[in-house]
Amino acid sequence: MAVEALPGLVVAMVANFCWVALDQAGPGGVERLLCTRRTRLGKSGQTICVGDRVRVDGVDWAQARGAVAVLEPRQSLLNRPAVANVSLVVVVVALAEPTLDPLQLTRFLITAESTGQPVLLVFSKADCPPMAEVEAWRNRAAGWGYPALVISSQSGMGLGALRERLAEPGIAVLCGPSGVGKSSLLNGLLPELTLRVGAVSGRLQRGRHTTRHVELFSMASEALVADTPGFNRPQLPTDPAALSGFFPELRHFLSQGSCRFSNCLHQGDPGCAAGTTWDRYDLYTQCLADVIAEAERQSRASGRPELPGLRQRGGRLEPRLDPSLRQGSRKRQRQEEMSEDS
């Protein structure tokens, strides 16, 4: 008689294994199983991420071991760090130590926006810079479309407001550069965790990696939060035309009016509804240049000389004009009129 696979949630990934929290405890009160992945999942190209709903079979209750046999459909996926079924993406950056880089912050926000889930921006280490600088960053982020929380793990500033947001049902994931204090925030919210933290490199002013794997922790009933390893260069989308959708201020501009051309890349061309005076315009164009450069590299590698819908002009790529919008030559128009008269 076949034994039905047990439902559970992947709460941690360690090397080639995953920890699965069972929906119901097994014999002896076993609540978690250390699992491998069935070969057929790998052959079908299915990868397991923290946050995945799975079914486990081949359970050895004495050793608390099993194998993931079924991967349930995902509602959402954050690619880096890899967390499935995310309901809130919390981007954490430090106001000091390491120095806040607006371009790096923008890339993290783009990564968060790409999930299609709500995004919460958190400024950590708010006790380090002058309060005027803290308020300036809070106001600037609000102009980008992100009402930010200002947090200090040392003084406890803002932890209550963050705790309320993370206590909402679902999976929230903390992501951001190394050394910004993600693990320190969780220690402040959940003191029983005692997660390892590290200092910032004095010479490079970069964070040192202290979190080595993604793991879910319980904040409240049905509310989980993922601590993730830091990294310093988030990936960008591959489609240049999709980039504008990940900027809330650009979405606002485009909701108020349309650009002259439907394939506008919002680089300040005539008829662009966004213009060039918004705060993150330079950051947007830098990201766009990186996306286009990567798209060109992939296009050359695939044997296609040009990107679809784009052409090279004046040292940059711009949308290719729709042929239906091109104005015919006056000479041809006169010739056609003369032929009709005759």
- Rounded CA gap, 120 and 236, in Å? 19
Share of the chain residues as helix, strand and coil, in percent rounded to the nearest 5: 30, 25, 45
CATH architecture, range 78-227: 3-Layer(aba) Sandwich (3.40)
In 3D, which of 105, 97, 88 has the Cα closest to residue 180? Answer: 97
Listed by start position, the domains of the chain span 6-73, 78-227, 240-323
For residue 95, the tally of other CB atoms under 10 A from its CB is 23
Checking if the pLDDT of 142 tops 60, the result is yes
Q: In 3D, which of 3, 162, 1, 131 has the Cα closest to residue 67?
A: 3
**Position 211 confidence tier, pLDDT thresholds 50, 70, 90:** very low
What mean pLDDT value characterizes the chain? Answer: 82
Q: Which two tokens stand for residue 260?
A: 């002259």
Q: Do domains 6-73 and 78-227 have the same CATH topology?
A: no
User: Which H or E element spans position 119?
Assistant: strand 119-124
Write down the CATH superfamily of domain 6-73. Answer: Nucleic acid-binding proteins (2.40.50.140)
Which of 238, 251, 244, 247 lies closest to 290, judged by CA?
238
Q: pLDDT for 64-82, tens place per residue?
A: 999 999 999 998 888 877 8
Return the pLDDT at 315. Answer: 55
What are the beta bridge partners of residue 149?
A: 122
pLDDT digits (tens, 9 = 90+) for 85-97: 999 999 999 888 7
Question: pLDDT per residue over 286-330, tens digit each?
Answer: 999 999 888 888 777 766 655 555 555 555 556 555 555 455 566
Average pLDDT in the 51-57 region? 93
Burial group, residue 275, by CB count within 10 angstroms (0-12, 13-18, 19+): exposed
Residue type, 231: F
